[in-house]
Amino acid sequence: MALPALTLSLQFARFDGVAEHRAALPRSFVARCLRHALDREAELTVRIVDAEEGQALNRDYRARDYATNVLTFDYATEPLVMADLVLCAPVVAAEAKKMKKPLAAHYAHLLVHGALHAQGWDHETSEADAEAMEARERQILAALGEPDPYARSRHARKV
């Protein structure tokens, strides 16, 4: 099965420690994760930010005054997916450390998670939707050779 076409803009804000995140996110890795999560052609921007920018975006667009791991700003789903994914580097790094998993593996999960949101998947609407999204994430990550992000806890659905 051919993977969908993807136009990708990968951006890194300037912040202390950005080199570690650049190393964990080569463009080919980001594109591979996203293309496996997409079911149609897409134009995506992925931006890696610091805690200050992450918190400001979460506060301004979701009325939640804290930095979260990934934010998805979806603009269109048909005929192609158009969205921005914003990943907060310090939050992602802290979560990866807490879960004792490689930074790149956690980024893979969050890229897949964000791409699913961009296509209309939502884990906050119902338990059934959350379970369906989690199952789809597991399927995609397994195809990528990445570990099951929910294996350690059935209540890990903070994403």
Question: Binding-site residues, please?
Answer: 113, 117, 123
Q: How far apart are CA 19 and CA 17, in angstroms?
A: 5
Closest-CA residue to 4 (of 140, 108, 137, 121): 140
Crossing angle of helices 103-118/127-143, nearest 10°?
130
| 8 A C-beta contact, residue 98 and residue 69 | no
Binding positions for Zn(2+) are 113, 117, 123
Q: How far is CA 66 from CA 4, 18, 83, 140, in A?
A: 34, 20, 22, 29
| 8 A C-beta contact, residue 70 and residue 113 | yes
* DSSP-H helix ranges across 6-64: 18-24, 27-37, 51-62
Asked, as a colleague might, if the bond just before 79 is cis with ω within 30 of 0, I would say yes
